[in-house]
Structure 1
Amino acid sequence: MRKSGILTKCYMYRGLFQRGIRFFSSSPEVKLEVVTVNVTIQDFIADVVSELFFRNTQQVSKETMFIFPVDSHTVVHTFYATMGDTRIEAMLWEKEEAQQLCNATSGMENLRYLQDQWDLWGPFFACFLGTLPPNREVAISLCYVQELPLQPDGAAQFCWPCELFPPVYHIGLLSSKEESSEKLHFSICLKSAHGVSHININSSHTPLQYTAPDQTSAEVSLKLPPWLQTDLKLLVYYRGSHTLSAVAERSDPKAPPGSLLGDPAVMVTLTPSIPKVAPSPGHLGEFLFLMDRSLFRDAQNTLLFLLKSLPLGCYFNIYSFGATFKAFYPQSVEYTQGSMDNAVGRISSICPDLGGCDLLGLLRSIYSTPLLHGRARQLFIFIQRKISSEEEAVMAEVYRYRDHHRCFCFPTGRCDSFNLSQAMALETKGECVCIHSKMDMASEAVKCLQRALQPLASGISLHWDLPPGLEVSMIRKAPEMIFQGHKSSIYAQIHGQAQDPAVGEGAVTLQYHVGSQSFSYTLRFSLSPSSNNRLPVHRMAMMHLLWKLAWERTSRAEKDVQHSEVKSSISLGIPSPFTSSVAVSMKQRDAWQHDSAMFFFPSCNLVPCQLLWLRGFRPVWFKSTKFWMVQKCQFCLEMLGRKAPDTEALTQFSASYREQEPSPEEQVMEDAPAFNSSWDWTISPLSTRLCDFSRLRVVVALQKANGSWALTTALASALGLSKADVEGQKPSEDVQPTAWATVLALAWLHQYKWKVSWSELLQAKACRWLRDQAEVQLDECLEAANSLLGCFVAPSIFRI
């Protein structure tokens, strides 16, 4: 296959099609003509059966390849393509046998070039379909199961990419609508024990038709694709509160009892209600800041603002990584005045490192450290360099511990690591923000910290109440915690035989804490659900079970269980760490069975087909192009100007600097700030903004861990005042200097809020400290501060 192959692009969005579906050919004239899709959505799981018909409209043959993205929330279990009398089918084999088959397959080089495709990144299923003759059709059959994401308004969202709709021209004409109805057959079946309330679809569709008197099932069909080539987005709303939902599924009657398929399975979705409460110190989280050492100049500002914004009582640590990684502390430490001072003083010790990037080793070290009981672990990862060949291993580690932490990622530079950063954030329900400038890095990081400090559900536990004779085996356990606006799906297997067959219900109770409040919800579910021979719950449960077996060290007895489950997964087509894909080309009239593990197809019938980890990148446009280029030029000049071998001069400088013994705050202030007079030659508005930012940096550096400020000359100077003026304007002798200085700094920060809206965390800390000082007359102090600063800040500021 030639590298000049054309692909249909798909825009990025959350869910399965975040990286889009691609149908590759050597010409764009291989067009999608007819689409048939049947979707069954039950609570938060979707079962999709689709058939796509492509036609070569050219008078010459075209080479074709089908590429489909996969993720940890999706199981693609069936794929085959039909061209005339030839059928190409993908299947799973155990890894060793699959490797032998791949070695015997010619044309594997047709897949290798995909490793360097510029806009394809992450795990993809790829199958080479061969040559499509002129005016001939290829039919793609694709079936998958997917966990649906939760939207902020509580809806379950299902997406289908616009590229997988047949093109519709002159959509205003009646003939076009009739033609579209012939090309598009898109039906959706909705089910929920809670009842289906309503739906929202961004395309023309039939009215929602209920198929059960209690409205627990409904159907809808599309009339036309979405307008203006946008992706289909279906939002499903269920009745009442669905803090807890369960989808039970009968066993496969053909499977042996005791196996996963031989027992009923249940998927329980947890969407806890999380009220906005002030967390107690014992429930504050653990914050880990991971800084790429090639960003060492930016680290000084960003780490300073993050450290100053943390609340008393949380735990934190700072890691810098390059060719190796280093931690400020052997393990996370409690956030106190002493630990904050120590960390601020060590920020300037981060040295540049333009070598390798051992993010994988750092993550493994962090994940090997036990979680602090009741504290959410949240990682802030600032990265500029590309991880290269370790991306797949990094994502495997993140996926393994995805229920134990959350990642906020900040890729910068040329954004070589953008895709990896976005994948880590999505996998852990965090956030990825591409950084455009140094100011953006600090502000965006603190904004994410605001979200990270929101209340969460912790101490999560599930309790089962089943009829005598039945018991539950957890496949995927409940997570340690669930963050606000997110859900978690767990899977369980139900063993045994009920002593009383007449009892057809079970119950599950969810218990959790938000701060000091406790919550409990109980849901009853049917143990005799309607039959579903497609087994979507079993398929998802099988995927989680196989990954669990791959991660755990198994004994000899467990090896037998593993072998049994792998055999079941092959029969279901569930990919796993123990299997690999193999595609076989055969004539439609040929009958075959995949019963014997030792049966091999002739090498001439094997087709290149693999799960590939692609390492392309997605280009990102920068808003502040000129500013960013100036920064990078300055960085390069500084690096070229350094004399690395002259260690004696550096040693002498460090020794003279240590003799002065500055405070941590003064150390940060005296250290060459990222924004100083060296930028004065830029245009006036930027120069003014940088001057304000430098003053802000000093004010922030002087704030104490508890949120207060001391009345010092440095603070007065940063506020544009003299210490004599500040002391002379103190409202009364009874007002403590620290309280007066804190009101002044708070008013000054609020005055510049339109420039630094992300300073709210610093202001909130100051307000909490002031409210604890019962003897302080806040209104009187604020009036004096307004007069001294020449501004007007309302007393409502103290209610932040």
Structure 2
Amino acid sequence: MSMHPLVVATGSSKVELPCSQPVAPLETKGAAFCHPSMVRVSRPGKDSGYPPHFLRIDQRERKVRYGLLTQKDESVPLKSITVEVSISGFIADVSTTLCYENNKCNPVEAVFVFPMEDGSTIYDFHAEIGKKSIDVMIKDKQKAREDYDDAISSGQQAFLLEKTEIPDVFRLSVGSLSAGQKATLSLSYVTELPVEADDALRFCLPTVLCPRYTPQGTTSVTKGVPRVPFGSIPYTLSLTCHLVSPNGISNVKSNSALMPLEYLSDDKTEAKVSLSPGFQFDRDVVLLIYYNHPHQPTAIVENGLSSAASGSLMRDPVIMISLYPEFPELTEQSLSIKGEFIFLVDLSDSMLEKMNGDPDSDMRIESARDTLLLLLKSLPLDCHFNIYGFGSDFQHLFSNSVKYSQMTMKSAMKEVKSLHANFGGTNILAPLRDIFGKACIPGYPRQLFVFTDGEVENTQEVINEVKKNASSHRCFTFGIGDGASTALIKGMAKAGSGYFQFISRKDRIQPKVMKSLQFALPPAVTNIKLNWHLPNLVKVAPISETPHVLFNGQRTVLYGQLKTKANKNAVGRASLHYTLCGKEYKSEIRFGLKIDKHCRLTAHRLAAKVLINEKEDERFLSSMKDKSETIKKEIIKISTEAGIITSLTAFIAVHKEKHKAIQQPMVITHIPLASFPSCSQERISWESYYTSCIRLHPRLRGGGGGYGTPPTTLRGGGGGYGTPPTTLRGGGGGYGTPPTKLRGGGGGKPKDKVDEGDSADMPEVRSDNLLKLVSFQNVDGSWNLEDRLMTLLSKTEQEVLQKMPAEIKDKSVWATFLSLLWLHGFNSNRKDEWKFVALKAVAWIKAQTGLNLELCLQAGNDLLGCQMDLQTLGLQPS
């Protein structure tokens, strides 16, 4: 191995090539590798995890062209993508067909790097050239790559489908496609659909692949992907979805234009919907499917393959059950739960993007600010909290989590309202290590909330960091906008025994975040046990682990392998037992053991993926090399038996009829994706930063130095706008270097102290009146009777005081009662956002003695024009 220049002999001449990557000795593939413009250099070691690299040598310019770089006005061989989705219950079976045609005069190698929803299980891949079907095999990934290279260097046509180093990004290589030749490639996968906050099932077809943040010293998968402007993608997408549910299909919504929903049965248990023509590839395609009874438990018993090995997973029947644990809803008592809440917020440049395509819509950072404000006001009374911002670097509001109080909350709100997305890249690993490196507060369980648009390359390393610290916290994640890494968002939540949610174009982030806060507040469910009750002689081998965490009303899917067949009329039961607050609960389903003989092995493949995931976790935790190698072989064995690819295996197809070696230089074409100029790994220019600061934060206060160069402080003095910022709230010196604290700087106030009378200096919440009202609330749940509250209620001070019952001596009681009425009377459609705020207000009002609630209700209804009752407000006498 050497870092010296690479010397390549080409015919009678030698070319010296600068090479920044360590390489193994040059391999020319012997006589079969005949064209002088193509040589192969591979990194040493079959288990290095990197594919061999072809170097395209231009002898005139004497430079190496790595990978797939032809980017002029050449036509792209991928012409169309057709997607057929079949959704039965909560399982989606997806078939994707990609049509290629080489319009060039030379043979083509086309490489398509594309995202896929994490958790998807690819179980089928086949290729056709003309009407000739090409045999496909699953192999060890390294061996598959070598077979692919051998085939195309020998003039044969080959196809390789593999996972990249990023778990939710795949690479499809087509080589070599002869001039004028057509090819059709099809891949199929199955996936479980997650449940949204409003009980919809969410199907996502990712089309957006943003550049991923790549830590120094690692290789980027997405950096070399060519980009074209929106509307210029040279291939088309069509999508049709077939829906089946015995409980009835009530509606389908999407962030993209759909054709009208077509029911295929009178009882609305079967329907079809299609994507409208003209999709522009500027967003992930998201379908929200609504069933009439979404929480209905289900069970499927699926027959195996008679041709599979005896005793194997694919040979025996598999049972798949879904349960919906139920326990009491949130009450005021939930607000007494102790906890440490840490909010980790992405402040990278890509958070400046819009939440949707509307130019007037919120930017991602604006939605994140609003959500943080709502979270701060919704926290339980006895808790600690902290806020981290991260990008290329990270900062925290407090050096350690602080007690939740009026003073600390007010301090936090000031900083939240001033947050900007100006931290460059997306290095999430560093702040995670800082958080986990600090001791937990005894008696206050740690709850971590992560907000990001999820564009990182070291996904597995981040997930592993969460997994290593899973015993000390729960992790709740939110993927914001199109292109968010599903592997990162889902993986962190799973590793941290939490819950994940995605916020796409038409979603409001606040209801989803409040749903996760509701999951975080109750005490953890304990003593979780799964019991199978089956007829005599029928044995089941559990495939899924017993769940480590349960959330109210959220689906739990479990798999089991039936070792002996039962009578077709036999009935079995599965029950999930758990304890909450000392009380025992149970979720149960009864099912028939009659086997469906017309199945597509969906449950088997999903069960195999569960087994593989568990083996991969075991391999990660293993410190012994021999054991790790044994587990690796087990993973490859399950993968090949089940026909599903993993990080260790790949699909390979070789058309062996053509043996003539390449006679012309092969054109390397990388299939382009849509351009995302602000999804950059690099920090935006300081000129752009300065412009965005003026637009987002008009209260910048400088010092007398003029506006000649980028700013030096957001609030500071005397130096003008000299260089990049040093603090978000600083003083005295201007903006010297990237920020180091969310609140700090030589001239700022102490970070744990805030004046009670400086509310006028606090930036205003944007025009959302609900968020304004929430921002006025005190930590204890009360409101003060002040001018800004009365303005929001559209009442004068005289009107408010005239209607206040004489028995109320504390104006805060009246202000709190009116605020509670206003929330229920004028914002009932957004109750998911303010219910925690209302619970705190109810608890505070109930703690006041001597109140005539009926009298207060009548006076409040008269003043605001409402018709509420005490039961609706949660104030009914106990």
- Do they superpose with TM above 0.5? yes
Which has the larger share of helix? Answer: 1
Query: 2:124–2:643: 8 Å Cα contact kept in structure 1?
Result: yes
Deviations 1:414-441 (A, max 9, x none): xxxx5226775677664445799xxx9x
Distance 1:694 1:37 in 2: 42
The one of 576, 586, 599 equivalent to 1:510 is 576
Amino acid at match of 1:75: T
Corresponding position of 2:696: 631
2:380 aligned to 304, 308, 311, which one?
Answer: 311
In structure 2, which of residues 756, 764, 781 is the aligned counterpart of residue 666 of structure 1? 756
1:270–1:487 contact (8 Å) kept in structure 2 = yes
SS for the counterpart of 2:851 is coil
| Pairing partner for 1:739 from 803, 808, 813 | 813
Q: 2:189 aligns with which of 144, 147, 152?
A: 144
Aligned to 2:64: none
One-letter identity of the residue aligned with 2:125 = F
Q: 1:464 aligns with which of 501, 509, 532?
A: 532
Give how far 1:487 is off: 2.6
CA 1:471 to 1:372, structure 2 compared with 1: closer, same or farther past 3 Å? farther
Aligned pair 1:699/2:776, yes or no?
yes
Alignment-derived partner of residue 344 in structure 2:
290
For residue 420 of structure 1, the aligned residue among 475, 480, 484 is 484
Q: Choose from 641, 662, 667 the match for 2:721.
A: 641
Shift of 1:546: 1.5
Q: Separation in 1 of the partners of 2:119 and 2:582? A: 33
Taking a change above 3 Å as real, the CA distance of residues 283 and 549 of structure 1, as seen in their structure-2 partners, is: farther
Q: 1:773 is matched with which residue?
A: 848
Contact 2:861 2:868 in 1 (8 A): no
CA contact (8 A) 1:245 1:268 kept: yes
**Mapping for residues 2-401 of structure 1, pairs under 5 Å:** 3=70, 26=76, 30=79, 43-47=89-93, 54=99, 69-84=115-130, 88=134, 90-98=136-144, 100-101=146-147, 123-128=169-174, 130-131=176-177, 134=180, 137-148=182-193, 208=265, 243-257=296-310, 259-272=312-325, 278=331, 280-281=333-334, 287-292=341-346, 303-312=372-381, 316-325=385-394, 337=405, 341-345=407-411, 354=423, 356-363=425-432, 380-383=449-452, 387=455, 389-390=457-458, 394=462
Change (3 A) 1:138 1:558: closer
Note the C-alpha offset of 1:707.
0.6
Task: Flag the 1:102–1:523 CA change in 2: closer, same or farther, 3 A.
Answer: same
Q: 1:715 to 1:83 in 2, by over 3 A?
A: closer
Q: Which amino acid aligns with 2:183?
A: V
Shift of 1:564: 3.4
Distance 1:446 1:88, change over 3 A: same
Q: Distance in 2 between matches of 1:524 and 1:203?
A: 37
Distance change >3 Å, CA 302–CA 531, structure 1 → 2:
closer
Q: Is 1:77–1:143's contact at 8 Å kept on the other side of the alignment?
A: yes
Would you say the 8 A contact 1:312–1:706 is kept in 2? yes
Q: Supply the distance in 1 between the matched residues of 2:731 and 2:763 (Cα, whole angstroms).
A: 25
1:236 and 1:717 map into 2 onto residues whose CA distance is 40
Deviates more, 1:260-269 or 1:200-209: 200-209
Task: Determine helix, strand or coil for the equivalent of 1:475.
Answer: coil
Distance 1:388 1:464, change over 3 A: closer
Deviation at residue 480 of structure 1 after TM alignment: 1.0
Corresponding residue number in structure 1 for 2:645: 575
SS of 2:656 mapped into structure 1: strand
Displacement of 1:310 in angstroms is 2.1
SS for the counterpart of 2:640 is helix
User: Which one of the candidate residues 493, 505, 513 is aligned to 2:561?
Assistant: 493
The structural deviation recorded for 1:82 is 1.6
1:89 and 1:330, CA in 2 relative to 1: closer, same or farther beyond 3 A? farther
* Number of aligned positions between the proteins: 681
Instruction: Select the residue among 837, 840, 845 that pairs with 1:762.
Output: 837
Amino acid at match of 1:536: T
> Secondary structure at 1:481's aligned position in 2?
coil
SS at match of 2:117: coil
Q: CA–CA distance in 1 between the matches of 2:204 and 2:805?
A: 61
The alpha-carbon deviation at position 144 of structure 1 amounts to 2.7
- Counterpart secondary structure, 1:463: strand
1:583–1:609 CA contact under 8 A, matched in 2: no
Change (3 A) 1:284 1:207: farther
Q: Residue 345 of structure 1 contacts residue 667 of structure 1 at CA under 8 Å; is this kept in 2?
A: no
Deviation at 1:128, TM superposition (A): 1.4
Question: Letter of the aligned partner of 1:493 in structure 2?
Answer: Q
Letter in 2 for 1:289: F
Gaps of 5+ in 2: 1-67, 208-237, 253-258, 280-284, 353-364, 494-498, 680-690, 701-709, 715-719, 735-743
The CA distance in 2 between the partners of 1:154 and 1:721, in whole Å, is 38
**Contact 2:805 2:855 survives alignment (8 Å):** yes
Once residues 65 and 482 of structure 1 are traced to their aligned partners in structure 2, the CA distance between those partners, rounded to angstroms, is 42
* TM superposition shift of 1:146: 3.0
How big is the shift at 1:541?
Answer: 1.6
Deviations 1:459-491 (A, max 9, x none): 56422123457243333543512355x533232
Whether contact under 8 Å (1:259, 1:564) holds in the other structure is: no
| TM-score for both structures, normalised by structure 1 | 0.62
User: Is the 1:407–1:430 contact (alpha carbons within 8 Å) kept by the matching residues of 2?
Assistant: yes
Say if 1:269 and 1:490, in contact at 8 Å, map to a contact too: yes
> 1:77 Cα deviation (Å)?
2.1
Contact 2:167 2:459 in 1 (8 A): no
C-alpha separation in 1, matches of 2:812 and 2:98: 74
* Residues in 1 aligned to 2:265 and 2:124: alpha-carbon distance in whole angstroms: 29
Cα pair 1:321 1:358 within 8 Å, conserved? yes
**Counterpart amino acid of residue 721 in structure 2:** G
| Matched ranges for 1:557-568 at <5 A | 560=630, 562-568=632-638
- Conservation of the 8 A alpha-carbon contact between 1:407 and 1:425: yes
2:543 is paired with a residue whose SS is strand
Which residue identity is paired with 2:572? G
How many angstroms apart in 2 are the aligned matches of 1:714 and 1:197? 48
Distance in 1 (CA, whole Å) between partners of 2:763 and 2:101 is 58
Q: For 2:478, which of 408, 415, 418 is the aligned residue?
A: 408
C-alpha deviation, 1:131, in angstroms: 3.1
More off after superposition, 260-269 vs 85-94: 85-94
CA distance in 1, matches of 2:578, 2:294: 16
Contact residue 404 and residue 479 of structure 1 kept, 8 A: no
Q: Distance in 2 between matches of 1:392 and 1:364?
A: 14
Taking only the aligned residue pairs, the percentage that are identical comes to 22
Alignment partners' CA distance in 1, 2:477 and 2:75 = 37
Deviations 1:249-270 (A, max 9, x none): 3444454455433544322222
Q: Is the 8 A contact 1:186 1:221 kept in 2?
A: no
User: Residue 540 in 1 paired to residue 611 in 2?
Assistant: no
Q: Using the alignment, how far apart are the partners of 1:532 and 1:562 within structure 2?
A: 33
The 2-side partners of 1:189 and 1:723 are apart by 57
> Is residue 699–residue 718 contact of structure 1 (8 Å, CA) maintained in 2?
no
What RMSD in Å do the two structures reach over aligned CA positions?
6.7
Give the residue type in structure 2 aligned to 1:93: K
Give deviations 1:13-39, integer Å, cap 9, x for gaps. Answer: xxxxxxxxxxx96268x568xx89796
| Cα 1:313/1:247, change in 2 over 3 Å | farther
